[in-house]
Structure 1
C-alpha cells in the first residue's frame, strides 16, 4: 500500500466521525486520462477531503509555504503534492502540472488561489485556464458545500467534465476558460446549496 492510500485511509478515519460527508457525482469522473480537478476553497480541510472523496489519485498543487513546515513539509511530496508560488506563475510548478496531466493523471487545484473566508466563490486565477488548455486534459469542476461544523453535513459534488477541445480549437484565452470553470463550480454551488 502506498503512502497516498494510507493517507486517504487515515483522513477518512479522522474526519468521518466529525462530519457527515455526502459525496455526489463521482460517476462523472473520467476513469482514465488526464483530468484537471478544480474546486472552490472554503477550509484548510478541503485538500484532504477532495483527496479522500475523489475516485482517482489526485496530485495537488499546494502553496510552497506548506512544504517548509516541520511535520507537514516532508510528507506532502510523498502524497503526490507539489509546490507552487502564489499566483501560479511558478515555471517549475507549471512544468510539473503539465507533465502529470499529459501522463494521464489527475491534477487538483483551487483556482481562487486562497480560501474564501465568507464562502462566496471568488474570481479564479488564469493559471487554471492555462492548465486546462495546455494539459491535454478535460476539467472536472467540484464544489464543497459547508460550512465545516461538527456533526453537520459537508457535501462534495463533482460535476460533469468540461470538454476542452472546442476551446483549444478556437484558441480561447486562459482567462476565458478560467471563467468557464468558475461558472461551472458556481452552478454546482447554486444547485446543491439549496437542498442541503
Structure 2
C-alpha cells in the first residue's frame, strides 16, 4: 500500500516536473537498476526530494530532519513516501541503523550531504558522515546536480556516473579522511551543477 502511494505521488510529480516546470534530465542511463545505492545531490529547494524521486525509477528512502515529522499528518505522509527522521547534530544512531538496513536490503537511500538547503551557486560544506554510510554498506553513490530551480533558465537535473569508494571499504577513516572523501563527492556534485 505504501509503495502504491509512493508510485502515485511520484507519477503526479513527474507530470508536474515535465509539463509545468519543464525540467530537463541528463544521465538517466547512469542509474543502477538494482543493488544498494546512495543518492546524493545538492539541496536548493524543498522541491528537490520529490523531483529526484520522480526521476529515479526506484523508491528513494530519504533521511529528513526530525522537525518535519513533528506534525502528525505531515509525518505520516513522509513515512508513506519512505522518509525517516534524522535528529541533526546528535549522531542519531537510530537513523544511522535504519539507513544501513535500507542499503543492506539493496534499496535506495537519499541524502543531501550539505544537510540543509543552500542558495543556488553557494553550496554548503558536506557533512562527512554522509559518505560513511555508503562506505560501511559498500554501496555506490549516485551524484546528482540540480540547477535553475529558483533562477532563470531551464531547470536541469544532471545525473553522474556512480562513484564506488571501494578503496575505503573495510577501513576505519579518521575525521580528516572522512572530510576529504565527502569533499570529493561534493566536488563531483558541483561539477554536475555547473555542466
User: What residue in structure 2 maps to residue 11 of structure 1?
Assistant: 13
Separation in 2, partners of 1:161, 1:147: 24
Distance across 2 between alignment mates of 1:164 and 1:8: 30
Contact 2:120 2:150 in 1 (8 A): no
Asked if the contact 1:42/1:119 (under 8 Å) is kept, the reply is: no
C-alpha displacement of 1:154: 1.1
**1:160 and 2:164 are equivalent in the alignment:** no
Q: CA RMSD in A?
A: 1.9
Counterparts of 2:169 and 2:180 in 1: how far apart (Å)? Answer: 11
Relative to structure 1, the CA distance from residue 69 to residue 18 in structure 2 (aligned partners, 3 Å threshold; closer, same or farther) is farther
Normalised TM-score (structure 2) = 0.89
Q: How many aligned residue pairs are there?
A: 190
1:1-196 equivalences under 5 Å are 2-87=4-89, 89-148=91-150, 153-168=154-169, 171-172=172-173, 173-190=177-194, 192=195
Pick closer, same or farther for the CA change 1:35–1:88 going to 2, 3 Å: farther
Is the 8 Å Cα contact of residues 51 and 57 (structure 1) preserved in structure 2?
yes
Partner SS, residue 104 of structure 1: coil
1:50-109 C-alpha deviation (Å, 9 max, x unpaired): 101113211111111111125322111111111101237211110000110111111011
Distance 1:34 1:140 in 2: 11
Deviations 1:155-191 (A, max 9, x none): 011101111211226655322221121011112122x
Unaligned runs of 5+ in 1: none
**Structure 2 CA distance for partners of 1:89 and 1:169, relative to 1, 3 Å:** closer
Relative to structure 1, the CA distance from residue 175 to residue 30 in structure 2 (aligned partners, 3 Å threshold; closer, same or farther) is: same
Q: What is the distance in 2 between the residues matched to 1:118 and 1:144?
A: 9
Query: Is the contact between residue 87 and residue 113 of structure 1 (CA under 8 Å) also seen in structure 2?
Result: no
Structure 2 residue ranges without an equivalent (≥5):
none
TM-score under structure 1 length normalisation: 0.89
| Inter-partner Cα distance in structure 2 for 1:34 and 1:60 | 14
Contact 1:167-1:177 at 8 Å conserved across structures: no
Give the SS at the match of 2:89.
Answer: coil
